Structure 1
């Protein structure tokens, strides 16, 4: 019996050591470069192997104490990593949107208004725009899918009585030539960016250039809540200029950032797995009464799918109204 308990104990410790080795390896992979990085990764993996050998040779205390010490050193390095706004950024996140509010007037700087022909071929334009918060008329949720139905990018678009739409997208702030990685998003590989965009820019790059499938839902939200949400976006964008943040695949992404803002406006919103499986976010919003009443989710999705309408829109001025044609809750234009 003692022999069995000893084997079980060592197996449990071995598993913990293996997980620590794996976590440290990934942290080093995504945060170190060149020869120095290769040496650090190799040394960390060899240390993990040595500690396993020490453990299974019966020197349990030595294995545990050495593991705690080495992991503490790694954590000290890990916590010293700080986000930065000073890197060589990819063009679509090169500028940081920010704004100020005077009375009901919102002035936004670095509103992205690109004309996209491909991911590598575009006309880059950053603008300063002004909006009257008293003329804020609507809020729309957009979900854009590129693969599996459980995962989507989430955007929020604000409509004004003058016919303009302002779209906010929470983005991974990639550096030039850097590719997105879900795993890297757990290991401080990217900073976080909130980009204010012209709606045509933010939506057509996904449907027309990247081949994504996109849906729009009119949100049922009181006017004051809509205004507070828009102001929150501006405040969050401004805060990132003062204090940059790391993107995180789970805790700081295109959905959780928005949810945190909405939760401060509308209390009592429950946490839910659909906040992580972002493709199912419309079902969550419907469950808390946030979508148009009198329709099933399937009907809202079918009528809100604007992929084909966006592809057919060309350069028409009424792009935003065309993609909303037939969407429940949207008045006829």
Structure 2
């Protein structure tokens, strides 16, 4: 018993020495976390991913910067992407602006180039956490057309002030992770729990629910709370919130963001 206790103590002590790092040989798609600076209502984002994906493992790499006027915020969308088990989804949040610009924030595991994600490793400090900002053409096309995942984009009913109050926590998270790296955790610091923590300033009394863990049900959870857009047009279009594989749509001269919203 004593030997087992000493062994367990030693393992625990070793585990506590594992610290998150910034500089590793990262996988290309998570090699850069977004960074941000704010001046009044203007936010400058650097390291926005805008890859042109050919397959799920190969892409033409492009990292861009963007300047966003928060007084011009127009919309917020909760985006869920299911790849296998319908109970589990990757959660993202997209922001739209009156000038037609869109940016999507995605909390992800920061894998090294030789690593593949695994759930167990996510419990035991195998992966750092990274905040990716991406264009819709990159991150949504990757998941719909390239990976053939089932992706929903549900509009959220927010005032302009609330949109801004949701955007700014992402800015702070980007700044925090740039200064101090953090570990991803499959249960406590993942794509869903981090987003719900960021939204706490808007809905501080949002009840904890099993659908926060089984993230494929997040749209239903938000709908029951009255958070999703309840206008007649949105309700009539609820079934069309499933994003199309744009390869099946006719050529129209629309850009990607316009194309996925065509007919909605």
Q: Classify 1:313/1:253 alpha carbon distance in 2 versus 1 (closer, same or farther; 3 Å).
A: farther
Question: Cα gap change, 1:316/1:82 in structure 2, threshold over 3 Å: closer, same or farther?
Answer: farther
CA shift for structure 1 position 67: 2.3
Give 1:242's aligned residue.
179
Root-mean-square deviation (CA), in Å?
2.0
Cα drift, residue 262 of structure 1: 0.4
Structure-2 residue corresponding to 1:93 = 30
Q: How big is the shift at 1:69?
A: 1.8
Superposed displacement of residue 311, structure 1: 5.2
Closer, same or farther: CA 264–129 of 1 in aligned 2, 3 Å = same
For residues 101-135 of structure 1, the C-alpha deviation after alignment (integer angstroms, 9 at most, x for no partner) is 11111111111111111123211011111111110
For residue 117 of structure 2, what is the aligned residue in structure 1?
Answer: 180
| Structure with larger RCO (C-alpha < 8 A, sep 6+) | 2
Please point out which of 228, 232, 235 is paired with 1:291. Answer: 228
Q: Contact between 1:93 and 1:173, CA under 8 Å: does it hold in 2?
A: yes
Query: Which of 72, 90, 96 lines up with 1:159 in the alignment?
Result: 96
Q: Which runs of 5+ in 1 are unaligned?
A: 1-62, 328-333
Alignment of 1:47-66 (within 5 A): 63=1, 65-66=2-3
Q: Say which SS state the counterpart of residue 143 (structure 2) adopts.
A: helix
How far is 1:213 from its partner? 1.1
CA contact (8 A) 1:204 1:311 kept: no
TM-superposed deviation, 1:298: 9.1
Q: TM-score scaled to structure 1, two decimals?
A: 0.75
Correspondence 1:1-333 to 2 at 5 A: 63=1, 65-293=2-230, 301-309=238-246, 312=249, 317-327=254-264
Return closer, same or farther for 1:66/1:134 CA change in 2, 3 Å cut-off. Answer: same
Distance 2:90 2:103 in 1: 17
| CA pair 243-184 structure 1, distance change in 2 beyond 3 A | same
Which structure carries more strand by proportion? 2
More helix by share: 1
Report the CA distance between 1:320 and its aligned residue.
1.1
Q: CA deviation at 1:319?
A: 1.6
SS of the counterpart of 1:116?
strand
Unaligned runs of 5+ in 2: none
Q: Given the superposition, is the C-alpha separation of residues 238 and 151 from structure 1 closer, same or farther in structure 2, using an over 3 Å criterion?
A: same
Q: Do the aligned partners of 2:145 and 2:245 also contact (CA within 8 Å) in 1?
A: no
Asked if structure 2 preserves the Cα contact closer than 8 Å seen for 1:220 and 1:290, the reply is yes
SS state at 2:245 partner: helix
Q: State the distance in 2 between where 1:252 and 1:326 align.
A: 36
Please tell me whether Structure 1 or Structure 2 has the larger radius of gyration of its CA atoms.
1
Report the Cα distance in structure 2 between the residues aligned to 1:314 and 1:199, rounded to whole angstroms.
18
